[in-house]
Amino acid sequence: MAKHNHTLHTILLLAVACAGCAAAKTSLPAFHYTLSRGAYQAAKNLADGEIGPRNTHQDLLWNLQAGALERLLRNYTSSNAYFDWAEDAFRYFDLQSAAGKSVQGSKGILFNDSALPYTGKMYDRVMVNTYKALNYAILGDTQSARVEFNRVLQRQNDAKTLFAAQAEELKKRLSAARETPGPSGETVQATLNNPELERVLNERYKNLNEFKLFTDFINPFATYIAGLYFWLEGDTPKAVDILKEAYAIGRDNPIMASDFARASRGEAPSGELWVVFENGLAPRREEMRVDIPVLLRGEGVNYIGTAFPNLVPGEQAYSTLSVSDSSGAAVDTQPLASMENVIASEFNKELPGIRAREITRVALKTYFQYRMQKNYGIVAGVASGLYQAATTAVDIRSWTALPRDFQLAHTPIPPDRLVTITPAGGAGMTINIPTGCRNVIVYVRVVAPGLDPVYDLIKF
């Protein structure tokens, strides 16, 4: 009896311990709601509240959120401090020992992916250095901006290698689960190979067909803005190589095509203005419950369920911005790059691993539930069912303060140096381009419809 009670006590403690895994289910929606209503300081406070007092590597996600909010609040130095914390966390996770990763992987199988630390997506890494570069550029720190843009390009090059390493690690873990001696390993193998499961999941993930998926994890915006910066800084040979790569991905944008062509001819821009529009909010992850057939020998199972992440499309602030001068001449912003598609591409690449991990978990937990009831009776079976229910959850963590897409406009600087930027269906704002700068990038961020644009100037 003592052994029986100890077993039940252990199961219940495991279920309670995993309650913290669900924290993101309340904190992230609250953050999104606050941000989407333009309460930037309140959203920043929420992010700070999620960061522990020592600000450890476990707080990576909320450092990313806070860094993005500081950009909206135009606190660029503070923004970079949060992003520096994030980069430190990236390095920490990259340098973890193989043994440490194995322990973390076991924890994920025991509970769910949200029990693991958030280690960052590939697009997180690229955007951290992109934002740091832009922050330095706005502050006029040319040297630091160049360093960060160079890191952006290196991040882009590292993406495929990093993902390949992660995929190989996952393959090893799943192989070990399948090869577990006895019926539990057989249960995993049978469940993973179940054709009905594959049919159900393919039906649920049809929405991924709506996104344009990139195969090489290249963020067209990050590459283009780096090339444009080097060109306007006068480093034309370097700019040509970068703009060529950006053009190969996003050649549909005529401004990008023109910039590449002009840089290739050795032209030096003068008296020109680019408007970059960072539009809306990025896709978010939500929990999707799926009942799947789990194959095991015997009966006495009280709960079978599983959960997978689904990608909710991003939210647009405005369809375009209009850029006009006092003469009435106007141009509209045009699509430059879809952050939504970048995020969907990585999500699609992650999905087989997410699915395999979750199916392995549910198969092992269900077999465990069956054995508990068979060996210890109905009470133990119910308790283990409660454990399975409590630990069946999905990891919805992602950097939700990113934009849905980027747009671009290009026009001469007017003689009176006044330009008016008007969102489609919104109120316009007039910007005075300072004298003394030969060219300028007006960087505009609008999070949601009806909110005032936040803008700043990068002067050359």
| 287-317 confidence digits (pLDDT tens) | 887 765 554 544 545 445 677 889 999 999 9
Domain boundaries, the chain: 2-459
Query: Please, are residues 291 and 456 in contact by the beta-carbon 8 Å criterion?
Result: no
- Pick the closest to residue 364 from 93, 119, 102, 180 (CA basis): 180
Query: Please, are residues 188 and 180 in contact by the beta-carbon 8 Å criterion?
Result: yes
- Pick the closest to residue 444 from 452, 435, 436 (CA basis): 452
pLDDT band at 193 (very low <50, low <70, confident <90, very high): low
Q: What is the mean pLDDT of residues 50-69?
A: 93
> For residue 287, is it left (φ>0), alpha (ψ between -120 and 50) or beta?
beta
Q: Quick one: pLDDT at residue 116?
A: 81
Checking if the pLDDT of 40 tops 60, the result is yes
Q: Quick one: pLDDT at residue 19?
A: 46
pLDDT band at 455 (very low <50, low <70, confident <90, very high): very high
Element (H, E) at 335: strand 334-338
Q: What is the mean pLDDT of residues 38-58?
A: 93
Q: Quick one: pLDDT at residue 349?
A: 85
Q: Which residue has the tokens 């503070």?
A: 78
Q: What is the mean pLDDT of residues 228-257?
A: 93
Between residues 10 and 373, which one has the greater pLDDT? Answer: 373
Q: Quick one: pLDDT at residue 249?
A: 82
Eight-class DSSP state of 412: E
Checking if the pLDDT of 103 tops 50, the result is no
DSSP string of 233-289, one letter each residue: TT-HHHHHHHHHHHHHH-TT-HHHHHHHHHHHTT----SEEEEEEEESB--EEEEEE
DSSP string of 85-141, one letter each residue: HHHHHHHHHHT--HHHHHHHHHHHHHS-GGGS-----HHHHHHHHHHHHHHHHHHT-
Percentage above 70 pLDDT, the chain: 72
CA gap 146, 149 in Å, rounded: 5
